[in-house]
Structure 1
Amino acid sequence: MSGPQSAAGEIGDKTDLIAYLAAGAKPRADWRIGTEHEKFGFCRERLTPLPYEGDCSVRAMLEGLTRFGWQPVYEGETLIALTDGTGASVTLEPGGQFELSGAPLEHLHQTCAEVNTHLAQVREVGDEIGVGFLGMGYQPTWTMDETPMMPKGRYRIMKRYMPTVGQYGLDMMFRTCTVQVNLDFADEADMVRKMRASIALQPLATALFANSPFREGKPNGFKSFRSECWRDTDPARSGMIPFVFEEGFGFERYVDYVLDVPMYFVYRDGKYIDAAGQSFRAFLDGKLPALPGERPTMSDWADHLTTVFPEVRLKRYIEMRGADGGPWRRLCALPAFWVGLLYDDAALDAALDLTKDWTAEDRQSLRDQVPAKALEASVRGRSLRDVAADALAIAHGGLKARAKLSAFGENETHFLNTLHEMVEEGRTLADEMLEKYHGEWGGDASRAFREYAY
């Protein structure tokens, strides 16, 4: 989850907010791929969560990683993140989940090399202090009471506010992990096309990456419980945002949506001021109860953009937010899936054609089915598994057309192999885990720590 944002300038009126988003447009030659992935850290000896302080801890991990050139980032005197000068960072989610926010890279070979390097660094430090990392979408065994809260000011505000607006907000904060990719757009029209294709197909990504079938040691009735949590976290700031498919959608309509999402906080002088439930529109008029008479800066707007959580989020780039965290191969497959669909014009046309007959009701129905059914869900009489085969063929073609070659002359299509295999078998990682739980694991969900750790 993001830290304080940095954006220069005062805000005159709403047109400045629109211009802020529009400034993200880039020519195709400058399009990049930014991959983010979260993972659960645990003390190997006891399979317990990492506290912030101590020998086997979050802080010890962060300090250990500085040997590789990472620079510490503090909130007050508290070490909360690392940066490396390339645009990459290591940050903390509320329950101590470690997140790598990757640098903006040109192709997937670089993305996978970045993931490899990061996980090698994490393993080296973790091996020394008895820490392991698990890639799943939802924590399989720990209770909420067992899960620590990281010492970041925004998390205290969110923890108080979340239970007032949804059943699963705290689960989302403390016990989920995701992998996502951030992609660029050429202009407003390109943004609209990419938003429509990615929102329509986001439930498919959820199904392909479904990897969260346990809660507190038992099957939870879902294949992606992480995705189910988002269905009842905060309806004002999450969901399928159907207005994206309405005529006239563009930057201004998205700005209007974000303005109507209640605020969490304002960041001033190194501290978070609680503004939970208050209106950014009132802030624009100098009427925010938390800061009466003060008007927002562009940094406040950039901060507020990080507190909306739709299935696809627009900032100065587009974030794909539907997938559970998972094993190494999935960390490379997720960006491959979306780059293949969205970074080639013919592939994007085909993706839009694949979903062109889906209504808002169809898209929402698919979103509601997927947490429990994954690839067994259906849309307009077709199984999602069949839709997945079509979408993967499109993504494969898009990656092939990009012709981005590795040092060994390979294009990017092989990063989709794990997804092709899954669709051919009709079996998600969640299905695999449930089969093991009821079989060789003997009902012991903690086996996931050993078999699916990095």
Structure 2
Amino acid sequence: MSAPPQAKGAPITDKAQLIEWFAAGSKPREDWRIGTEHEKFVFTRDDLKPAPYEGERSIRAVLEGLAARFGWTPVEEEGRPIALTKAGCSITLEPGGQFELSGAPLRTLHETCSEVNRHLAEVKEVCDPIGVGMLGLGFAPTWSRAEMPWMPKGRYAIMKRYMPTRGSLGLDMMLRTCTVQTNLDFLDEADMVRKFRVSLALQPIATALFANSPFTEGKVNGFKSFRSQVWTDTDPDRCGILPFVFEEGFGFERWVDYLLDVPMYFVYRDGTYLDAAGLSFRDFMAGKLEILPGELPLMSDWSDHVTTVFPEVRLKKYLEMRGADGGPWRRLCALPALWVGLLYDDEALDAAEALVADWTAADHEHLRAEVPRLALDTRFRGRPLTALAGEVLDIAALGLKHRGQLNGEGMDERLFLDVLREIVASGRSPADALLEDFAGPLGGDMAKLFEAYQY
């Protein structure tokens, strides 16, 4: 989630302005870039508890250490650092203190992976001396909801109040989940529609390949990706499969209509988040928002509102792939490789589109329902999901081969798919391997799990 917004931009008087806001994200192919975001749980190493915001061993200390040692610029809210920026990147805090790098838009996956490695090295240099660690899993393995700290960000206070009115797991989503995400560009509206449909259909494959959250409060929870399951009971207004994306006529306008029907969370004015939870952006556009009577929304209000929907794929001025659990560094590089390979090459996109062309609404529902629990053990159309995942990886590899982006050793971007190839070959999701390690070499000891899976 983003740093504090600024109230700015032209007043919104017509829906056409909102459609144009998305259309302005269109870019020629030569300007397409790769953005990668990943979240980590922050904990104190001596007691394996979630790190607080304040104190000697805290999230604030990590933020201030990164600013002092590596030239990051702090972003403050009410005098407290809640984000950092540098060279097109940002570091932000999720509600429970999950530490997120939002990477710069980069040209190649080699650059993306270098950025990930550099960030993790900086974090480790700051964290080690103060006894803080960062953990790469999709759901907090031992901590209860009550143990989690709340970050001092105004929007989170509003969401904390509103979430329990919409679903039973919304607070868990906020406090106890971590993801890795890839952001990709589109050429025009037609290209956006193709990429949206393909990536939304295939998002369960990414969930299965990256499933990495089988523990809740120290016990096996019965899911391979409990993080993914959490989203099914967070808020039906702003989560889910979005069947309209696959319907004829989908485009920027249909996406705008969907967003206009999603209730608001807040409006940012004069350094303060105003509680607008449950109110209508359509009323806002008519000057009838009860907390700001007679006032019209600004484009910054629309930009903020767009960030408050949480489907598996989200359209901003680019497309966000949101279906994967957080994990170790090799898989942080693998997620953008998967989606770049599928979506940034014409032949690969054609093949991926053909693969999902005849999937029905029931097929999409089946995958969304079963994959969080079974991951690669899900059966789909009479076959194990591993078979489909192998086909998807073959298409992604084709796309990366065609890109022909080489590193200093003459290797192209397909090398970042190797870890996913290993997963498919084994037939085991990361959660399966984690459970086997926990029962075997780790001896059922959560302290050893933290040691094995920290960055």
Amino acid in the other structure paired with 1:97: Q
Contact 2:207-2:225 within 8 A present in 1 as well:
yes
The 5 A counterparts of 1:36-55 are 36-55=37-56
Aligned to 2:338: 337
* Secondary structure of 1:310 counterpart: coil
CA RMSD in angstroms comes to 0.9
Displacement of 1:5 after TM fit? Answer: 4.0
Q: 2-side partners of 1:343 and 1:174: how far apart?
A: 33
1:154 partnered with 2:158: no
Contact 1:138-1:175 within 8 A present in 2 as well:
yes
Displacement of 1:382 after TM fit? Answer: 2.4
- Structure 1, unpaired ranges of 5+: none
Amino acid in the other structure paired with 1:75: E
* Secondary structure of 1:370 counterpart: helix
Contact 2:181-2:323 within 8 A present in 1 as well:
yes
Contact 2:3-2:75 within 8 A present in 1 as well:
no
The 5 A counterparts of 1:291-370 are 291-370=292-371
Displacement of 1:410 after TM fit? Answer: 1.2
Contact 1:358-1:380 within 8 A present in 2 as well:
no
Deviations 1:333-382 (A, max 9, x none): 00000000000000001001111111011011111100010011122222
Q: 2-side partners of 1:353 and 1:5: how far apart?
A: 40
Contact 1:239-1:311 within 8 A present in 2 as well:
yes
- Structure 2, unpaired ranges of 5+: none
Displacement of 1:3 after TM fit? Answer: 2.7
Q: Higher mean Cα deviation, 361-370 or 433-442? A: 433-442
Aligned to 1:73: 75
Aligned to 1:393: 394
The 5 A counterparts of 1:87-166 are 87-166=88-167
Q: 1-side partners of 2:383 and 2:192: how far apart?
A: 28
Structure 1 residues 5 and 353: CA distance shift in structure 2, 3 A: farther
Displacement of 1:444 after TM fit? Answer: 2.6
Contact 1:141-1:446 within 8 A present in 2 as well:
no
Displacement of 1:443 after TM fit? Answer: 2.6
Q: 1-side partners of 2:19 and 2:3: how far apart?
A: 22
Query: Identity of aligned pairs, percent?
Result: 67
Amino acid in the other structure paired with 1:134: L
Contact 1:214-1:445 within 8 A present in 2 as well:
no
TM-score by length of 2: 0.98
* Secondary structure of 1:361 counterpart: helix
Q: 2-side partners of 1:171 and 1:446: how far apart?
A: 22
Displacement of 1:142 after TM fit? Answer: 0.6
Aligned to 1:179: 180
Displacement of 1:78 after TM fit? Answer: 1.3
Aligned to 1:63: 64
Deviations 1:17-57 (A, max 9, x none): 00000000000000000000000011111111110110000
Q: 2-side partners of 1:235 and 1:323: how far apart?
A: 20
Amino acid in the other structure paired with 2:3: G
* Secondary structure of 1:145 counterpart: helix
Aligned to 2:452: 451
Contact 1:223-1:373 within 8 A present in 2 as well:
yes
Q: 2-side partners of 1:113 and 1:9: how far apart?
A: 38
Runs (4+) off by over 4 Å: none
Displacement of 1:277 after TM fit? Answer: 0.6
